[in-house]
């Protein structure tokens, strides 16, 4: 490694500062455009040693763990340029794919904070009083698998208050197993829902000890690799008019404000239809984030590969007044996309795939006669690929709205509206 001075020109798509040199671009985390910095450089990566000339856009981070912790990339950037950069991520990705459309202003959707988090727990090799191993419980370090121990996280929602203490207590019980642990915690209306992964099979005495910890920390539910250890109450969340009992480890939008913003954009697109919406399909439905709102307007068939998610959705709609009929079907849309002929008579299709996108399903949508398609995505690159397939099939991409529920990160959600 060599110590050198660099001038930061711009922020890259992962949130690192980029300095242009005769040898090529050098990526410097925690820097801003226009800054002169001193770094320790190794090839195209550098570690920041000092900011010699700070940008006027630099602000004080809200978290004392910012820097070593890899959870946030841009707490040091003022809101206005940060929001402009995040919208530009979408604009530039669409332009690279040759897609021309209206891109709305970035919609902030952090709200009260993230309602789910995955903590990592690792033994440090040291020893504490009473023969216990020293634990590090927190988030992965920047560009590292090492765990940065934290005592609080300001971007988490109030509903996750107590989650770190509960995770530490569970990890302390399991650390003698000497395996890395991932502890996923979700804030629900009935309490914390915790799923522990990485421990391997547990002896009955450890299961009993975990159940006791769950009771002490008033967890709604504690599972291990999805297997129930203790449940005091079903972990419930309200979606539209229904209350959904979450399956263990189920997918959920990161913030309540993010879920509400995405759902509102989907429903606004429906409101613009000249004719009424009678029949809808929700592709990659999860537990019903969009299905349960769509059902206020139309008969909905939801498709999702997770059987527990579909079971939770079907259970949630029973007895809810004012909803149109909802049918949930377990189907792997990567292997068995909904065919164009199966969408005959459908007025609107909503798709919200994982990060890898929905290429096979997009091809079937492109061959269909569905008049309105609404795409929700957490990856603009795969969205652009799928959008191109739809456009080649005769759709027009009317607009894209970026949504920022992952504050201080390089992740951006979006909703795109396609019409025939």
What are the residue numbers of the active site?
378
Integer Cα distance of 176 and 219 in angstroms:
23
Q: Where are the beta strands (DSSP E) in 72-161?
A: 102-103, 107-108, 116-127, 133-140, 147-149
253 labelled binding-site residue: yes
Distances in Å between the Cα of 152 and the Cα atoms of 139, 180, 239, 279, 331 are 11, 21, 28, 46, 40
CB atoms within 10 A of CB 115: 24
Q: Tell me the HSE value of 194 on the side-chain side, using a 13 A CA sphere.
A: 33
Task: Count the Cβ atoms, other than its own, within 10 Å of residue 307.
Answer: 11
Q: Cβ neighbours of residue 331 under 8 Å, at least 6 residues apart?
A: 303, 304, 305, 338
The reply to whether 173 sits in an annotated binding site is: no
Q: Is 284 annotated as a binding residue?
A: yes
161 annotated binding-site participant: no
Q: How far apart are CA 360 and CA 354, in angstroms?
A: 13
Measured in whole angstroms, how far is the alpha carbon of residue 365 from the centre of its chain?
25
The residues near 243 (Cβ < 8 Å, ≥ 6 apart) are 189, 236, 237, 316
Residues annotated in a binding site for S-adenosyl-L-methionine: 253, 284, 304, 352
Residues annotated in a binding site: 253, 284, 304, 352
């Amino acid at each position: 490694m060599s110590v050198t001075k660099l001038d930061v020109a711009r922020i890259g798509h992962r949130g690192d500062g980029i300095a242009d040199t005769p040898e090529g671009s050098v990526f410097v985390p925690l820097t801003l455009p226009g800054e002169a910095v001193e770094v320790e450089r190794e090839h195209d990566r550098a570690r920041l040693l000092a900011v010699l000339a700070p940008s006027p856009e630099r602000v004080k981070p809200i978290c004392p763990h910012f820097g070593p912790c890899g959870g946030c990339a841009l707490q040091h950037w003022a809101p206005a340029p940060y929001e402009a950069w995040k919208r530009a991520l979408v604009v530039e990705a669409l332009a690279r794919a040759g897609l021309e459309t209206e891109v709305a202003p970035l919609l902030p959707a952090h709200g009260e904070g993230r309602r789910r988090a995955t903590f990592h727990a690792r033994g440090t090799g040291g020893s504490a009083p009473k023969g216990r191993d020293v634990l590090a419980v927190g988030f992965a370090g920047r560009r590292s698998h090492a765990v940065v121990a934290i005592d609080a996280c300001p971007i988490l929602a109030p509903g996750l208050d107590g989650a770190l203490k509960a995770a530490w207590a569970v990890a302390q019980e399991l650390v003698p197993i000497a395996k890395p642990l991932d502890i996923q915690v979700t804030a629900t209306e009935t309490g914390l829902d915790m799923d522990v992964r990485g421990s391997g099979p547990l002896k009955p005495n450890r299961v009993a000890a975990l159940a006791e910890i769950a009771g002490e920390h008033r967890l709604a539910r504690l599972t291990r690799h999805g297997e129930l250890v203790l449940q005091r109450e079903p972990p419930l969340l309200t979606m539209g008019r229904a209350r959904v009992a979450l399956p263990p480890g189920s997918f959920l939008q990161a913030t309540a404000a993010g879920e509400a913003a995405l759902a509102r954009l989907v429903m606004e697109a429906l409101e613009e239809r000249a004719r009424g919406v009678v029949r809808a399909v929700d592709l990659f439905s999860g537990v019903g984030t969009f299905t349960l709102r769509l059902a206020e307007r139309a008969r909905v068939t939801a498709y999702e590969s997770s059987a527990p998610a579909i079971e939770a959705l079907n259970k949630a709609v029973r007895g809810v007044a004012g909803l149109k009929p909802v049918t949930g079907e377990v189907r792997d849309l990567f292997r068995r996309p909904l065919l164009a002929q199966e969408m005959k008579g459908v007025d609107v299709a909503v798709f919200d795939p994982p990060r890898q996108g929905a290429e096979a399903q997009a091809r079937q949508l492109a061959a269909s006669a569905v008049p309105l398609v609404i795409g929700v995505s957490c990856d603009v690159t795969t969205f652009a690929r799928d959008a191109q397939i739809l456009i080649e099939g005769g759709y027009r991409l009317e607009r894209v709205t970026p949504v920022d529920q992952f504050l201080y990160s390089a992740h951006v959600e979006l909703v795109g509206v396609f019409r025939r």
